[in-house]
A and B are shown apart, each in its own frame.
Chain A
């Protein structure tokens, strides 16, 4: 069956450290992958997109890697700040499915000062 899974446990880190979040998927191939941020009671906010033929993408303090052999994406926030505390969602966008995003359950990140 098709699955997209993220670390279900909350991630607690100290300000200034790098947060690394994991997204694994099965039985979707090939795929594009997007990362969103969601704050409590709010809609997801787009952060980064990585294509199936890309290994790495960066935007300011954010970095995403994509390994289509392992079927895994890693999302990194460097020099983390308390304002980065939120739930981070990965989402697959399969071919020819009308823009349907398939979300993981999200990983809650808490950055302590």
Chain B
């Protein structure tokens, strides 16, 4: 398995500002995934991030709005640009450990945009 840590746990920001969410794994992992979850709803995959390459975004998510960096095999950052109240949700990073199929989630970052 893999343990994932996220920072910050929660954030409150004003509309129009940008914020960064960090995800750190306790071991090297090939892929990191970012998910968005609105309250009482399912998890929506935003993008897949592999080291040394640009993140692959799912429909409805763009690099300009949600740039993702993956500088090494244990770290990824999700940025929310020009935050809007509609971006208020929980953001999770996830990954599999080693050759395991099992995917694990970080504790999440709860974002509130005023």
Partners in one complex: no
- A interface residues, Cβ below 8 angstroms from B: none
